[in-house]
């Protein structure tokens, strides 16, 4: 993961991005971002791993990326790809507690969610 995107990361920026795109990006994209966020907050996660996470979340927050986010259907495919790549790189840091926090937050925002979609995402990163 290219750390040049790290400069775009901030916790407030992440929450604002998620708030503004959650419905259009969908629960899988938001879940991927939340898994990364909660893994980064875990004190046991090594600094090198956190740098990968910050770079991926910075890319997600970046308003101008490879595919314009407002493009219907495909606008978040590059963001999702970057988030998935980062998750695959740090999968050992995705603990049951991290998953639980991410699912809880996702349910707060989306209400009922298709947990099979989340399991599909988890299968891709393990």
The pLDDT tens digits of the residues spanning 66-77 come to 445 444 445 567
pLDDT given for residue 25 in this prediction: 78
CB 121 within 8 A of CB 32: yes
pLDDT at 43: 95
Which residue in 47, 54, 77 sits closest to 65, CA to CA?
77
Residue 10: closest CA among 79, 60, 64, 75: 60
- What is the chain's mean pLDDT, rounded? 85
Length of the chain: 126
Q: Tell me the C-alpha distance between 80 and 41, whole Å.
A: 20
Number of structural domains the chain divides into = 1
From 82, 59, 61, 47, select the one nearest 15 (Cα to Cα): 61
The ranges of the chain with pLDDT < 50 are 65-67, 69-73
Full domain range(s) for residue 90: 3-125
CB 29 within 8 A of CB 17: no
pLDDT at 67: 47
74 to each of 31, 79, 105, how far by Cα in Å? 17, 10, 25
């Amino acid at each position: 993961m290219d750390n040049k995107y790290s400069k775009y990361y901030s916790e407030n920026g992440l929450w604002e991005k998620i708030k503004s795109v959650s419905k259009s990006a969908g629960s899988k994209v938001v879940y991927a971002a939340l898994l990364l966020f909660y893994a980064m907050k875990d004190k046991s996660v090594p600094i090198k791993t956190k740098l990968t996470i910050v770079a991926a979340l910075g890319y997600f927050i970046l308003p101008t990326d490879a595919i314009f986010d407002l493009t219907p259907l495909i606008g978040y495919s590059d963001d999702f790809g970057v988030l998935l790549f980062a998750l695959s790189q740090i999968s050992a840091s995705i603990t049951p507690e991290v998953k639980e926090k991410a699912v809880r937050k996702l349910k707060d925002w989306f209400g009922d969610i298709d947990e099979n979609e989340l399991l599909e995402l988890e299968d891709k990163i393990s």
